[in-house]
Amino acid sequence: MPDDLALALELADLADAITLERYRASDLVVETKPDLTPVTEADQAAEHAIRERLASARPDDAIIGEEFGATATADRQWVIDPIDGTKNYVRGIPVWATLIALRDQVAVVSAPALHRRWWAARGQGAFADGSSIQVSAVSELADAQLLWSGIEDWDAIGGADSVLALARRCWRSRGLGDFWQYMLVAEGAAEIALDPEVKLWDLAAPQLIVEEAGGRFTDLSGAPGADGGSGFATNGLLHDAALEIVCP
């Protein structure tokens, strides 16, 4: 196992211990950030612990985190989302995870309340709970399962009609959102997952895992990468056909 991946898994262990301890706590402290999204004491404590360990283990690397911003620039960038799915976390829904990526090199998605963990290293494949995973071989939209975030997110960008048009072309659709939809594409349980508005820390880890599982990951314009402000992941075979419907 590459040293950086081993470190990323260690960081996930640190975060899991913090986030699980405060999950469903009656005295959990929740605040509202300037963008009106929630942040908990667990988000901040987990990111602080990860940053502290990285400062010791990789002092020359840069860190980009949701809660505390970016450190000095460097070629190697660690991208951290301490709790992806904070709204689920504060409502007691177990679909939340810590996302850790050494950008374009290693990635870990750890969902301790689901008892699941996914990881990948560039050129070495993707794994879930120790087993290799790969995307599905579904090649027709009519046979595809589509996963998407809530309708309100698409209404906010005026894209509800287009994503509903795609859903109607697919065999089945479900509104899961956040990291889990991308991990299900990587595992081959679904074929398409998309988000209208997201940040780099939401996608850096899922992108690498999906790609290492054989899938394709772009933004809604079709540009590859995790920093385009939106997310669009497929098994690769359906990417162009699905993208054409959502963004004709």
Task: Say if strands 106-111 and 116-121 run parallel, antiparallel, or are unpaired.
Answer: antiparallel
Q: CA 236, 232, 149: angle at the middle one, nearest 5?
A: 130
Q: pLDDT of 97-114, one tens digit each? A: 999 999 999 999 999 999
Q: pLDDT of 68-103, one tens digit each? A: 888 877 889 999 999 999 999 999 999 999 999 999
List the domains of the chain with CATH numbers. 3-124 (3.30.540.10), 141-246 (3.40.190.80)
Cα distances from 107 to residues 49, 117, 144, 205, 245, in angstroms, run 18, 11, 26, 5, 30
**CA–centroid distance for 90 within its chain:** 18
Output the six-digit token pair for 87.
């709204």
**Global pTM value:** 0.95
